[in-house]
Amino acid sequence: MKRKTQVNIYDVAKELGVSISTVSRALNDNPKISEKTKKRVKKAADKLGFKKNILASGLMTNKTKIIGVIVPYINREFFAQAINSIEMTAFDLGYKVMICQSADSLERERINIDTLISSRVDGIIMSLSLETNDWSHLQRAIDMGIPIVFFDRVCYDIEHSTKIMVDNFSAAYRATSHLIEKGHKRIGHIGGFMKIKIFQERFNGYKKALNDNNIPLDETIVKETHLTKDDCNKAVKDILDLENPPSAVFCANNLTAITAIFYAQSIGMNVPGDLAVIGFSVDPFATLMKPSLTAVEQPSKEMGKLATERLVEELNGLAEEKATIYGKIILDTKLVVRESS
C-alpha cells in the first residue's frame, strides 16, 4: 500500500474556489479574514480530512512547537515523574515533546543533541548524563538559538540557561542532622557519582552536619555509586556487612535506601532500631513499605512543570526579542520523617 499523498491547502482551496493564502490565513485565524470564510474553510478542511503539515509550516516559521527532552533514563522514578509533568504542561501550552535517553553516556547525549537540533526543536529541557564533562555540544545548541533549561543535574558552566534544582547541600545537611538528633553518632552515606555536582553537594551537606556536631568522618562507611541496581546492592552490602556497621545511613537516592532497608532486614537487623535510613526523592513506595521510608522529597513534578513553563516563556520572549534573564531556580525540598528513622 503506497503512502497516499495527503490533503493539502491546495485541495481545500480548489474545493472552495479560493486561493491558498485565504485557506492558510483562515486556518490560522488571521484577523484579516472574515468569519464567514473562516467557517467555510474550516468546514471544508475537516470534510476533506486536511491536517496541516507541520514540516512545511515549520520550515517557513522556523518554529516546530516541539520541546526536546533528554534524561538519563525514562524509567527511573524521578525522571518518569518529571517527564509526566513536562508532557502534561507542554500539552497545555501547545507543545509536543521529543524524548531522548542519554543512558548516562556522553556520546549518546551528544547524538541526542544533534538529533534535536536537526529536528529543529524550539527548545530543550534536560538533566545531564553522569559522564558529561564537556559542554560544547550544549553550547552549540544554545548558539544556534535553541534555549536549554536544565533540571536536577544542571550544568553550571553554561551561562545563558535556566537551571532548576533543589538545594542539595541544605537538604543533605538537614537529613543528616535529623539522624544526629535521633542520637546517631555513626552515620554512613551512600552517594551518587561524585563527579556530579548534585551528589557532591549532598555529600558536602552530610559532611558539614557531621562536622558541626563534632562527629568525625569515617570513609569506610561512605560509598559512591552510579545509581544502578548492582551498584546499590554492592554499596549496601559493603557497609552493612562491616564488623562495625553504622547505626544510620543517609542515601543519596531512594533505590539505595530501599535496598538498604530490605537488606538490613534480611540479615536480621531491625529498621529503624538497628539501622535508621533516610532516602532522597519521591517514590510511591516510600509511604507503602514497612517501615515507611523517611526521605528528602524532591518535587519532581514541580520541577518538570516549572522547567516547561520557564522554557516556553523564554521561547515567547525570544519571539518578541525581549532579553531573557537567566538564572537558578531553587525549589524547596521537604524532609518527610516516617518510620525508617
For DNA, which residue of 33, 70, 116, 271 counts as binding (CB under 7 A)? 33
| Residue 64 touching DNA (CB under 7 A) | no
Q: How far is the CB of 184 from its own copies (least distance, A)?
A: 24
| Residue 4 touching its own copies (CB under 8 A) | yes
Distance of CA 248 to the CA centre of its chain: 29
117-126 as b/e: b if 16+ CB within 10 A: beebbbbbbb
Residues in the chain: 341
Cβ–Cβ under 8 Å, residues 332 and 306: no
Cell (9 digits) for 196: 556530579
Residue range at the interface with its own copies (CB under 8 A); choices 10-18, 52-60, 175-183, 184-192: 52-60
* Strand residue runs (E) in the chain: 66-71, 96-101, 123-126, 148-151, 162-166, 187-191, 222-224, 248-251, 276-280, 294-297, 328-331, 334-336
| Residue 119 touching DNA (CB under 7 A) | no
For its own copies, which residue of 18, 20, 48, 103 counts as binding (CB under 8 A)? 103
> From the list its own copies, DNA, none, which binds 268 (C-beta under 5 to 8 Å, kind-based)?
none
Residue range at the interface with DNA (CB under 7 A); choices 18-26, 131-139, 174-182, 184-192: 18-26
Q: How far apart are CA 149 and CA 163, in angstroms?
A: 6
Residue range at the interface with its own copies (CB under 8 A); choices 33-41, 85-93, 184-192, 203-211: 85-93
| Residue 98 touching its own copies (CB under 8 A) | yes
In the complex, the residues that contact DNA under the rule CB under 7 A are 5-6, 8-10, 17-22, 24-25, 27-28, 32-34, 36-37, 50-53, 56-57, 59-61
